[in-house]
Each structure stands twice: as C-alpha cells, then as structure tokens.
Amino acid sequence: MKEKLKNIISKVIEGEVPNFSVEVSDNKMHGDYSTNVALILAKKLGKNPAEIADSIKTKIKDESLEKVEVANGFINFFLSEKYLKDQLQEVLKQKNKFGNLKIGGSKKTRPSDDRAILRDAGLKPKDLVGIPWMVAFALRADGWYLRSDIIWHKPNPMPESVVDRPTKSHEYVFLLTKQPRYYYDAEAIKETNTPDMIRRAEAGHTRGPNGKIDTSRNDSDTLRGDDAKTITANGRNRRSVWTVATSPYSGAHFATFPPALVEPMILAGTSQRGACPTCGAGWVRVIEDSPEYAAVKAEMIGKTHEDTSKELERGKQQGWGKDKARVTQDVNILGWRPACSCYAVPPLPAAPEDVNGNMEAYRAERARLLELYATLPTVPCLVLDPFAGTGTVMRVAAKHGRSGIGVELNEKYIKLADERMSKIQTIMQF
C-alpha cells in the first residue's frame, strides 16, 4: 500500500518527485498512512505546506481510500472498508500461501523476505525481532497493564538446524489486565513445593566446616525468611516458568495449545464459583491465614533491619536457626463472596483490630454471611479466545465449568473445534 500511495502521489505532483515518505500512522486519528510530501515540496518551492497539501489532496482519487485529510502539512490517508475486506478475502483465498502474497504488485508481503522493510525497522538480517514483546509493549502503550511475562518452557521443542544460537524451547504468555486491580485466584493455581525446598527446610540450617551451625552463611542451601520456618501444605505461589510439553494433535491444525498450558490461565483468571448474573463480576475466594502460619508470620513481621542484625548476632551465640521447617497450611479456604453489590447482601465484616477483643463475634458473623452467600445464584464465568483454532481454550473452559466464546477466521478449523468439543459437550452454537 505504501508503494501504491507513493505512485499515486508521484503522478499527482507530476514529476516533481522529492525524497518524500509514506508511513503507517502511529495514531489512528491520522488515518492508516501519512505522507510528508507537502512539507518537503513546500521547503523546496518556498510555499505554504498546508496549501500544497490541500492542492494534492483534491487531486487524489482512489477506490481503496475512504478519505484523505490534511493536518499540520501532512496528508493522511484513511483506507476504505471495502479495500480492507477485499484484502481479507484475498488472504482467505490464498490460505497457506499467505505471506507469499503479491498484494501490491511484485512485492512480497512477508517482512522477512523484504530486506528494505527490515532495515526501515532498524533490524539487521538475523536479528531476533521479538514480536511477542513488541505486541506486549504496544498493548501497554495502548492502556493495558502488563503484569507478568510467563515463560512457556517446552521440554519437547521443535528441532532447529542452528549451530550459532540455542534452540528455541520457549514462548511467552503475557498477563495483561485492563485495570490495576483485577480478578486473580492465586490459590487455584498454587504449585507444589519442590523436593529440594522441602529438603533444605528440613535441614533448617547450614553447618560450618567445624560441624557447628553457621547461621551467618547466606548460601543457597539455607532457606531464609518465612521459608526457613514453614513449608506450606497449600503449595507455593505459582512461578513464572511453566513447563508444558506440546501435545500431538492428529487433526489438520499445526499450532494447537496443550490443555495444560491453558488450564492455569482459566483457573486464575475466572472464578470457580461463577459470576454475578447481572454484572458478570467473578466471585472471590475468601481465605484467612491458618493460625499456625499467622503465628510464624507474626514472628517475622515488623522487624527492622537493625533488629534482624541484632538477632543474627544473638543467634550466632545461641545457635539460633535450629528450627526445623513446619509443614503447615498457610491459608484456610472459607468460602466465596460476591465481588459486586448487585445481590444487595451485607459485605463481610472487616477483621477487628483488637484480635483478643471481638474475634469470636467476628468469626460468627463471617460464617453466617458465607452461608447466606452460598445460597446465591451465579452463572459460569466466560472465557474468550479471539484466535480459537481447534477450540482448546473452550474445551478446557467447559471442563472446568466455565462458558467459552471462540472467534476463528478459518471455517475448516471451526469444524475441527466442533468435532473436538462434541466429545465433551453435545451442542456448540455458531
């Protein structure tokens, strides 16, 4: 399209072809493409750029353009819906050959084939482009909150015949949210403690060369902080590297997700209890620290650096650090509460400041309300996959009692998704 627009402009300005550019607009208010031709011509001819831009604009007529506008001497081009639809039809017609399309003349559209495009983007041949990160940063710039990059580690990656870089065995999963506070059920996706962590905690301390406990050592064999005292039976907070083997799929789609990759995203991102039928807000798990864990935390919390240093000194003298790990529940799961006010039920009371004072009354009121909440209706949470392929995401959603909506460009894949879905759910609505 850039080339096409350049040709159109060159014809309009009849031979006076300065070294102007046509670029994709950063801001949709400025159309799809934008050119600086009027600014360059104005400099050359000593004239007003807006007048030149207006004069060029009136002479540009092409059915691929919805409208042409002038702003600050730039000429902005807005592509027509018909043109965009035609391009999409062409992509569908070409199916697998997409990428080698010759849209726009003899120029290939696949950037990797086009050195000039790579150079324009500041890339050298063989550079890693980092498309996933570019998408993540673009979404962040667009207002999304980029909360986490998760490494999908594939223990069975595609073999690559490269000898000058490592074989790629990971992809990225980005946790993006629309608000700074969002639904995230950490309990639902906790991971089990590693045997190494349990071993280190059970050792509880490190011995120096003389066989004596050496609490001053800060090496990897000594668990520190809370970890040194408790290994939580609930497991530990999910880490950001997920090892999931790609699963073979005999159908005619080559990039299906393994269900185990999708599972944590759905479990953490939606509520097992369901959502409010009126506003769709997911219900929130109600948890409290187990008394044993709360006691350990109380021991650890509120100590200044100075206190800790003093204790370390005292510990050195007294053999501090002899504590073995305690395996304990870190949280007790009490139930679920609505996250909205649609049900018009009282909210859970705030925990009393004075724990000794009215804790019993607080617990009784909380239990009464949780019982009441348990009688309220919910609808299954809804999962959307805008690139549904064979519908793995929807299948995993259904397996966990969530609803699913999938969007897929290719009709063939929709049929595959339907076949796979029919094994767990009889009707799929189109």
Ligand X SMILES: C[S@@+](CC[C@H](N)C(=O)[O-])C[C@H]1O[C@@H](n2cnc3c(N)ncnc32)[C@H](O)[C@@H]1O
Binder of ligand X out of 392, 394, 396, 414 (CB under 6 A): 392
Shortest separation between residue 391's beta carbon and ligand X, angstroms:
6
Is beta strand 145-153 parallel, antiparallel or unpaired with respect to 241-243? parallel
Binder of ligand X out of 389, 396, 402, 421 (CB under 6 A): 389
Shortest separation between residue 386's beta carbon and ligand X, angstroms:
6
Residue 409 near ligand X by CB under 6 A: yes
Establish how many alpha carbons lie within 13 A of residue 361's alpha carbon, considering only the half-sphere containing its beta carbon. 8
Residue 255 near ligand X by CB under 6 A: yes
Binder of ligand X out of 36, 256, 272, 378 (CB under 6 A): 256
Nearest to 57 by CA among 40, 76, 44: 76
At residue 155, φ and ψ (nearest 5 deg) are -70, -15
Distances (CA, A) of 1 to 28, 66, 112: 16, 14, 17
Nearest to 207 by CA among 196, 198, 217, 192: 217
Shortest separation between residue 408's beta carbon and ligand X, angstroms:
5
Residue facing ligand X at closest CB distance:
389
Interacting stretch for ligand X, rule CB under 6 A, among 6-14, 189-197, 255-263, 304-312? 255-263
Which residues, other chains included, contact 221 with Cβ-Cβ below 8 Å and sequence gap of 6+? 200, 203, 206
The dihedral through the CA atoms of 64, 76, 100, 416 has a sign that is negative
Shortest separation between residue 189's beta carbon and ligand X, angstroms:
19
Residue 253 near ligand X by CB under 6 A: yes
The dihedral through the CA atoms of 345, 347, 352, 353 has a sign that is negative
Residue 396 near ligand X by CB under 6 A: no
Shortest separation between residue 9's beta carbon and ligand X, angstroms:
30
# of chain residues touching ligand X (CB under 6 A) = 14
Residue 407 near ligand X by CB under 6 A: yes
Residue 390 near ligand X by CB under 6 A: yes
- Which tokens belong to 174? 């980005």
Nearest to 20 by CA among 30, 34, 122: 34
Shortest separation between residue 248's beta carbon and ligand X, angstroms:
12
Dihedral (C-alpha) 405, 407, 411, 417: value to the nearest 10 degrees?
A: -40
Tell me whether residue 30 or residue 420 sits nearer to ligand X (CB atom).
420
Tell me whether residue 89 or residue 192 sits nearer to ligand X (CB atom).
89
Contacts with ligand X in 123-162 (CB under 6 A)? none
Binder of ligand X out of 187, 263, 330, 408 (CB under 6 A): 408
- Tell me which H or E stretch contains 406: strand 403-406
Tell me whether residue 81 or residue 306 sits nearer to ligand X (CB atom).
81
Length of the chain (residues): 430
Contact 145, 180 (CB under 8 A): yes
- Looking at residue 230, its amino acid is T
Binder of ligand X out of 196, 299, 357, 387 (CB under 6 A): 387
Residues that bind ligand X (CB under 6 A): 253, 255-257, 387, 389-390, 392-393, 407-410, 413
